[in-house]
Amino acid sequence: MTAYAYKALTAEGKISKGIVEGESERQVRNLLRQRQLKPIEVIQSKSVVGNAVASANTGRFKLRIADLALFTRQLATLVLAGVPLDEALAATARQSPLPKIKNLLLQIRSMIVAGQSLGASLAAFPQAFSELYVAMVRAGERAGLLGEVLEQLADYIENRQQLQQKMQMALVYPLALLLVALGVITILMMFVMPKLVDLFVRTQTQLPLLTQWLLALSNGVASYWWLLLLLAAALPIFIKRVLQQTLWRGRWHHFLLRLPLFSHLIITADTARFAATLSILVSSGVALVEALTIANSVMTNLKLRASTATVAIAVQEGGSLARALDNAGVFPPMLTQMVASGESSSSLEIMLKRAAQNQERELDMKLTGLMKVMEPLIIVIMAIVVGGIVMAVLLPVMQMNSLVA
């Protein structure tokens, strides 16, 4: 059966849109009429030629990590319950509230009904399903353990989602404090300072140097606030465009690794991601060299990724994994020691999993420590800036009082 996108009128005259499966466009129109809908437009939403998918919109559609985790968990549960794969995908599509995800799943189901494997079907949507995801599904299909592998994938994605949320939450409070500080300073500059300046001008008070600087800054903010807003809106877009270039992104990543507070955080996060990915791939039956190549690609920092690119080559040439990781000069000693222990005891996937858990615990501790450092640091900076503004205002007032006395 083929997935069709439709637009129809309800009995109340409202527009209804959705995805429905059918043997032909005519059958879909009849099905819509049975549902008391008047078809306006029915379009085939998939077009498969060999392994190529012609649906450009869905092909570029990227799943959010939360949606991917939910889909994987639902599919794993149905497959483990013995539901045929095409029916499991159809049931998962029906439960999805988003039309794009529903369309994506129905296209995958159509490819499976046409005789393709799940791994090949998922590989046709590289923006939605990563190389890691596809490799694990293919390994699970080869071993006849698709349900178990999907369950492992769901656990992995959910853990990654939790880690991502921790890192985001670690930045929320410091950013909120920073925005409040900027708001307070802006209000003082634009509304409070001009009124005080009028008072000082009328009394012909000689302004201290600090007050003169603050006054110049206040006049600049009041006169060019629109330019500041324009720069604030354009700067993130400009930075994003620049960092899309591999050369500048590599330089930026190299710079981040030199920052005292953030370098260890970045290394710990990437090595934890590497170890967790490698563990789940090896336990799913993926060849070690292929697993190393995929695990290297999940590292977000280009400098770290380049440093570990030779690990797969070293292992392919017959070297041990622990030695290759140690020679990369990136991974912490505890991780390489646990890998060496896993290689000697033939329990590599178990030791990799434990190493990943250790790295994640260390990352959690570092995030907590970073929050404890950032919060008082921003408060101190706020106090210094606001205190400077208060002093710039009080100094002329004190001079006026001394003249009166």
Mean pLDDT of 29-44: 80
| pTM as predicted | 0.63
- φ, ψ at 208 (rounded to 5°): -65, 165
Place of tokens 């290759």: 324
Task: Tell me the C-alpha distance between 405 and 330, whole Å.
Answer: 69
Mean pLDDT of 17-45: 76
pLDDT top residue among 403 and 220: 220
Mean pLDDT of 211-238: 81
pLDDT tens for residues 290-317?
888 888 877 888 888 888 888 888 888 8
Question: pLDDT at residue 318 above 50?
Answer: yes
Question: pLDDT at residue 93 above 50?
Answer: yes
* 241 burial level (CB within 10 Å; 0-12, 13-18, 19+): exposed
pLDDT tens for residues 52-66?
333 434 445 678 888
Q: Where in the chain do CATH 1.20.81.30 domains reside?
A: 263-365
pLDDT band at 25 (very low <50, low <70, confident <90, very high): confident
pLDDT top residue among 196 and 236: 236
Question: pLDDT at residue 46 above 60?
Answer: no
Q: Say what the pLDDT of residue 24 is.
A: 73
Task: Tell me the C-alpha distance between 5 and 84, whole Å.
Answer: 24
pLDDT tens for residues 112-134?
887 788 888 888 888 888 877 88
Minimal CA–CA distance to 299: which of 347, 346, 338, 266? Answer: 266
Task: Tell me the C-alpha distance between 193 and 186, whole Å.
Answer: 10
Determine contact, residues 338/275, Cβ cutoff 8 Å: no
Task: Tell me the C-alpha distance between 339 and 333, whole Å.
Answer: 10
Name the least confident of 8-12, 49-53, 154-158.
49-53
Topology classification of domain 263-365: Receptor-associated Protein (1.20.81)
pLDDT band at 225 (very low <50, low <70, confident <90, very high): confident
Name the least confident of 157-161, 237-241, 350-354, 396-400.
396-400
Question: pLDDT at residue 174 above 50?
Answer: yes
Q: Say what the pLDDT of residue 3 is.
A: 66
Q: Say what the pLDDT of residue 403 is.
A: 57
Between the alpha carbon of residue 30 and those of residues 19, 34, 112, 127, 222, the distances in Å are 14, 6, 25, 34, 65
Which residues have CB under 8 Å from 2's CB, separation 6+?
21, 22, 23, 24, 44, 45, 46, 110
Q: Where in the chain do CATH 3.10.20 domains reside?
A: 1-45
pLDDT top residue among 77 and 199: 77
Query: Domain 1-45 has what CATH class?
Result: alpha beta
Question: pLDDT at residue 390 above 50?
Answer: yes
Which residues have CB under 8 Å from 141's CB, separation 6+?
117, 118, 119
Average pLDDT, the chain: 80
pLDDT band at 190 (very low <50, low <70, confident <90, very high): confident
Between the alpha carbon of residue 92 and those of residues 48, 50, 87, the distances in Å are 21, 25, 9
pLDDT tens for residues 229-277?
898 889 889 988 888 888 888 889 889 888 877 788 888 888 888 888 8
Q: Say what the pLDDT of residue 48 is.
A: 37
Q: Say what the pLDDT of residue 157 is.
A: 85
Which residues have CB under 8 Å from 384's CB, separation 6+?
none
Question: Buried b / exposed e across 3-34, counting CB within 10 Å, b at 16+?
Answer: bbbbebeeeeeeebeebbbbeeeebbbebbee
pLDDT tens for residues 276-292?
888 888 887 788 888 88
Which residues have CB under 8 Å from 267's CB, separation 6+?
257, 301, 304, 330, 332
Name the least confident of 85-89, 104-108, 386-390.
386-390
Q: Say what the pLDDT of residue 56 is.
A: 37
